[in-house]
Amino acid sequence: MDSHNKHWMVTLQEVFYPILAAVGIPSNTITSLIIWRRKCMISVSSSFYLMAISVADNLTLISIVVLELSLKYHQQEPFWSHEPWCNLREVFNYGAYNASTWLVVLFTVERYISIQTWKIRRTICSPRCVVWTIVIVFIFSHLSAIPFYRSNASVQENNHTLCIYKPEAPTQFIHTLVWFQTLQAYVLPFVVILTLNGLTLRLISLTNRVQISADPSNTHKIRPLLRPRTRKSVLLLVTVSMTFVILSITRAITQIILRTTKMYTLDRNDYNSEINIVADIGTMLCLSNAAINMYLYVCTQSRFRQEFLACLKQVTFYCKNTCRE
């Protein structure tokens, strides 16, 4: 039974991760180009966040999906099983993933502030502030991953070189890293996203019930929520952020269980244990976040869909002319 479970899980991941990278990297690149070069009826600040998320998602796909997981299932000894890549791997992996996660969180915060009448809205939602925020997120995401440089070691086992947690590393140190990453990448983002999405939808619901009176001040407060651009941004925000939560929740729960309660006793290659199967499926779902944003935009944004189809027509026309020549 173990052999059967292991075979289909390994085969599934051998096929899934290369396909995920082949689909996700081009789609993220196309998304950035469309948002950068064309007007998709979204605010400038939202455009910057969406382009930054696409870049961070591509870094996640390249560092985790391509260089780590795809090589793991297609090579006996990937290059990152040796020093110094064994230590640097986690820094780049967690740095890219954390940047992708917190850009979604800050996009949620920025959109919530944008529909408020607070005076700080013009400052927080300005293009200059958004650009600096994005730069700071990328820097601190990688800085916060530096402690993982000391967590791994390259060891020889059964004539193979493996990259694992340092056997001599204190258990408390490893647990601290695990909980820090779990809080940073899952718990805090989930709390912020769910809270602000709930407040945003509640605010829109309450505003839609209010009848616009002749009072100019009342009209001023309600009108921003009724603008088409604002409605599109809110729809995009809820779609992207809630999809992130739904696809990440399984990995968040299983990682807490695996890396704390049974971190040193459970064989991750033992697929008789259901937690291992669920954990690997959770990882696949979680990493799918980095590849599907373009398809979410196509489904929810009519203007983006039009621009995407226009780009496809241009590419098709160019290919036909090239082939004729």
| 233-270 per-position pLDDT tens digit | 677 778 888 899 999 999 988 887 776 665 545 666 77
Residue 268's pLDDT is 67
**Segments of the chain with pLDDT less than 50:** 1, 211-215, 219-226, 264
Residue 130's pLDDT is 92
Residue 223's pLDDT is 46
* 3-class secondary structure per residue, the chain: CHHHHHHHHHHHHHHHHHHHHHHHHHHHHHHHHHHHHCCCCCCHHHHHHHHHHHHHHHHHHHHHHHHHHHHHHHCCCCHHHCCCHHHHHHHHHHHHHHHHHHHHHHHHHHHHHHCCCCCCHHHHCCHHHHHHHHHHHHHHHHHCCHHHHHCEEEEEECCEEEEEECCCCCHHHHHHHHHHHHHHHHHHHHHHHHHHHHHHHHHHHHHHHCCCCCCHHHHHHHHHHHCHHHHHHHHHHHHHHHHHHHHHHHHHHHHHHHHHHCCCCCCCCCCCCHHHHHHHHHHHHHHHCCCCHHHHHHHHCHHHHHHHHHHHHHHHHHHHHHHHC
